[in-house]
């Protein structure tokens, strides 16, 4: 099977990202095969070290594996651009330096590309207090919640409900306890407030058919243990 670079076909998004990286001193190419990617020790007067960007949306799993393998044999680091729906399908045994979820954030791509070219592919040190459960990450310093790298927009009470329960996975919270912990002892609203906020929270975080919050009938709620 002989494949050509993806950017040999018209693709404005790919060309724009490649041009943006070049302006940042990173020579990158979108490819579906390593045939036309220069080995990492080939230098010219332009920016150093080629970087292969492989868009998995265009490839089957076997084609992706072949492309990554060929790039690895040439010493060319690979960043896979993957649709969110295919993140879980990435083969951890492949020699992938990093991956980024599409649609690509240009600033994030620059940071990841530079880390790969420095050989720094270890995860950055996590801020103190971060809650990580599977692909769900809760950062209490920024009040930010992400799932598989996707930022989830939550209102403050929704965030607090999630944080309180995620800190104690498996623990059953009755509605009165959640009212006290999230709204405070002086809150005069009814327990239905909890149900409404739980429903809104679930609609935002329970994507990809993943259940985070379980209902314990006639009692309350708990964050699912993984």
Last-in-domain residue among 97, 118, 139: 118
Rounded CA-CA distance 109/5 in Å is 19
Pairing of strands 98-102, 78-83: parallel
Q: How confident is the model at residue 35 (pLDDT cuts 50, 70, 90)?
A: low
**Has residue 125 been placed in a domain?**
no
- Residue 136 corresponds to which tokens in the numbers above? 């769900």
* The predicted structure's pLDDT at residue 3: 36
Question: Which DSSP symbol is given to 104?
Answer: P
* The predicted structure's pLDDT at residue 214: 93
Chain-wide mean pLDDT for the chain?
Answer: 80
* The predicted structure's pLDDT at residue 173: 94
Tell whether 149 and 101 lie within a shared domain: no
Q: How many domains does the chain have?
A: 2
Residues 6 or more apart whose CB falls under 8 angstroms from that of 22 comprise 28, 46, 47
Give the C-alpha distances (Å, rounded to integers) separating 92 from 11, 68, 75, 87, 198. Answer: 28, 12, 18, 11, 34
**Has residue 108 been placed in a domain?**
yes
Tell whether 214 and 136 lie within a shared domain: yes
Which string of DSSP letters, residue by residue, matches 121-144? -SPPPPPTT-EEETTEEEETTTTE
Q: Can you tell me the mean pLDDT for 54-69?
A: 85
Is the pTM for the entire model greater than 0.85?
no
Tell whether 83 and 180 lie within a shared domain: no
Tell whether 79 and 150 lie within a shared domain: no
Residue in 210, 127, 222, 141 with CA at minimum distance from that of residue 175:
222
Last-in-domain residue among 52, 84, 118: 118
CATH number of 217's domain: 1.10.10.10
**Has residue 1 been placed in a domain?**
no
Is residue 163 over pLDDT 90? yes
Rounded (5°) CA angle 62-1-69: 50
* The predicted structure's pLDDT at residue 132: 87
Rounded CA-CA distance 27/46 in Å is 8
Residue in 125, 76, 66, 111 with CA at minimum distance from that of residue 97:
76
Tell whether 109 and 173 lie within a shared domain: no
* The predicted structure's pLDDT at residue 127: 64
* The predicted structure's pLDDT at residue 109: 92
pLDDT tens sequence across 7-25:
334 377 888 898 999 888 8
pLDDT tens sequence across 84-114:
888 877 887 788 889 998 888 888 899 899 8
- Domain hosting 137: range is 131-223
Q: How confident is the model at residue 44 (pLDDT cuts 50, 70, 90)?
A: very low
Q: What percent of the chain has pLDDT over 90?
A: 23
Which DSSP helix (H) or strand (E) runs through 222?
strand 220-223
């Amino acid at each position: 099977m002989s494949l050509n670079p993806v950017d040999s076909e018209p693709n404005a998004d790919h060309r724009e990202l490649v041009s943006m990286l070049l302006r940042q001193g990173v020579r990158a190419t979108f490819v579906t095969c390593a045939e036309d990617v220069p080995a990492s020790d080939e230098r010219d007067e332009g920016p150093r070290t080629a970087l292969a960007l492989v868009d998995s949306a265009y490839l089957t799993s076997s084609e992706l594996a072949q492309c990554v393998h060929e790039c690895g044999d040439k010493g060319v680091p690979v960043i896979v651009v993957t649709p969110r729906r295919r993140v879980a399908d990435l083969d951890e045994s492949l020699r992938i330096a990093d991956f980024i979820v599409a649609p690509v954030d240009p600033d994030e791509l620059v940071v990841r590309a530079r880390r790969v070219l420095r050989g720094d592919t270890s995860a950055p040190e996590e801020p103190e207090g971060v809650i990580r459960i599977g692909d769900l990450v809760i950062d209490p310093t920024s009040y930010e919640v992400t799932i598989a790298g996707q930022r989830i927009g939550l209102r403050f009470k929704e965030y607090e409900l999630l944080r309180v329960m995620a800190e104690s996975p498996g623990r059953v919270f009755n509605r009165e306890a959640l009212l006290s912990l999230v709204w405070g002892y002086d809150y005069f609203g009814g327990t239905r407030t909890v149900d409404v906020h739980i429903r809104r929270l679930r609609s935002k975080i329970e994507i990809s058919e993943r259940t985070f919050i379980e209902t314990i009938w006639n009692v309350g709620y708990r964050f699912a243990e993984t």
